[in-house]
Amino acid sequence: MLGLSRIKNSYSFEPVEISGKPTGVNVVESDIKNGYAILSDGVIIIKVPRRCAPRRKLEIANDLYKKISAALQKNPARFFRNKELEFYDGEIISPFGVTLAIRVLKSERKTASCSIRNGVLAVKAPTHADEILISKCVSNCLRKELASQARKLVEDINSLHFGSALGKVRLNSSLSVWGSCSPKNDITLNLRLFFIDRKFLEYVIVHELAHTHVRSHSKRFWREVERVIPDYRILRKGLKSSGTVIKTEYQSEVAPTEKEAAIPDSGENAGAVTSSHP
């Protein structure tokens, strides 16, 4: 069976290469009726039913391995877009085209805080803070900074093309989709969209605003999208790959004299880049 062997009740798969990087595979036996495979924290997890014959477990695991491997090669963004962005000390990020250098300062404080000044996104964190806590702090800071700009962009596109009564506009760093529209016309956007070409952000906004007119993905819905973006099919396809791995720059020290930068109100300088971590 492809890629799979079983030795002393353990499973072993060859790593799956995604965007040039090997991704490990773990098989877990669980009290479930049907097996499934997911990508979690950069590792492929294959779950198989515990209460079935060993040969059947191998068949299920092998089948799931082949399926998720093929899916990851065909459309990796499907798996990576729901992974929260990771940020590290010394990284240079560019949300909405504004360059910011991340600087992490650890001390004997109890909680983490984050602020943006003079082109530096400063994170003040406890000495025990790990990369997950730092990343969440940076994401929360960026969501607050970008909130008004996101609202303005959604309102501008809505006013120009849809004329719908809008609810809230939110940014989410762990959204499993690029965007969503609630029955109350609350628009939620994936924070990752603010680190790739602005045309993809605008496409997602148009997509969600089209749902204020048509809730389903019917032919009528896609006509609404096409009315605003005639080449939406190209953008829809490009988004699947563009949002998978986002480039980054890195420097070991952050210069305190960098030119002061702020997130622009009108969202100029699109095409930003940030963390290379999926």
Can you give the pLDDT at residue 100? 92
**Which among 251, 255, 252 has a CA at the least distance from the CA of 118?**
255
pTM score, whole prediction? 0.65
In the chain the domains, ranked by start, together with CATH numbers, are: 4-74 (no CATH), 91-250 (3.30.2010.10)
Average pLDDT, stretch 126-137?
Answer: 89
Of the two residues 67 and 138, the one the predictor is more confident about is: 138
Least confident stretch, 27-41, 167-181, 241-255? 241-255
Digit-coded pLDDT (tens) for 190-217: 998 998 899 999 999 999 999 999 999 9
Beta-bridge mates of residue 39: 44
pLDDT tens digit sequence for 144-156: 999 999 999 999 9
Confidence (pLDDT) at 6: 36
Q: What pLDDT does 251 receive?
A: 47
What's the CA gap between 273 and 7, in Å, rounded? 44
Query: For tokens 């595979």, what's the residue?
Result: 25
Q: Is 132 helix (H, G, I), strand (E, B) or coil?
A: helix
Token pair listed for 238: 């490009």
Query: pLDDT of 79-130, one tens digit each?
Result: 655 567 888 888 888 898 889 999 999 988 889 999 999 999 999 999 988 8
Q: What is the pLDDT of residue 189?
A: 95
pLDDT digits (tens, 9 = 90+) for 35-92: 888 777 678 888 888 888 888 888 888 888 888 888 777 766 666 555 678 888 888 8
pLDDT of residue 263: 39
Percent of the chain with pLDDT over 70: 77
Would the pLDDT of 19 be above 90? Answer: no
Q: Rounded CA gap, 186 and 18, in Å?
A: 34
Helix/strand/coil for 79: helix
User: Is pLDDT above 70 for 185?
Assistant: yes
DSSP 28-66: EEES-SS-EEEEETTEEEEEEESSS-HHHHHHHHHHHHH
CA distance 262 to 216: 38
